[in-house]
Amino acid sequence: MRLKFFGLAVGLAICAVAGAATMVHLSTAALVKHATLVVTGTVDDVTSHPPDADGVIYSEARVRVRDAVVGGTAEEFVVVRYMGGEYGGLAFVVTAEPTFEVGEEVVLFLEPAAAGVYKCPDGVQGKQSVVDGTVLPAGLTLSDYLAEVAAAAGR
């Protein structure tokens, strides 16, 4: 009986933690409002850096810009910094932060983080993947999604 109670208590604790970590889905309009730059492009390179003094590994994704949908950039590439990555056999995972893979097509909602470096102000929601012409998780074609972004930006 005591073991069953312990298992139930652990299960409830896990559910409580999972519920507390639930992320509120942001609308396209909210993502646009928080960003100073929205671009489409392809991930060209991903580099992870050694852990900082707090043990946090940061990574940077270099994205070849195809189109600046909101804001403007004459740059061929943008660099996006985010918490997480692998370095020297260590892995640091932050589920609220986006991750990037070389060759991946993306729509990014960005703001400046440092000179020449951007971040997704809404974390993982600030990166939308484009798979076979469909923006995920929105489920819209890229052209329809970009029209929604432009409308949210007042264009």
Span 47-73, mean pLDDT? 95
Span 100-110, mean pLDDT? 98
Tokens of 94: 């932050």
The CATH class of 25-152 is: mainly beta
| Residue 55 CA: distances (Å) to CA of 58, 84, 93, 96, 118 | 10, 11, 12, 17, 21
The predicted pLDDT at position 45 comes to 98
Mean pLDDT lowest among 27-36, 57-66, 72-81, 108-117 = 72-81
Q: How confident is the model at residue 20 (pLDDT cuts 50, 70, 90)?
A: low
* Chain center to CA of 27: 15
Cα-only R_g, the chain? 18
Q: Residue ranges of the domains in the chain?
A: 25-152
pTM (two decimals): 0.84
The predicted pLDDT at position 88 comes to 94
Q: How confident is the model at residue 21 (pLDDT cuts 50, 70, 90)?
A: low
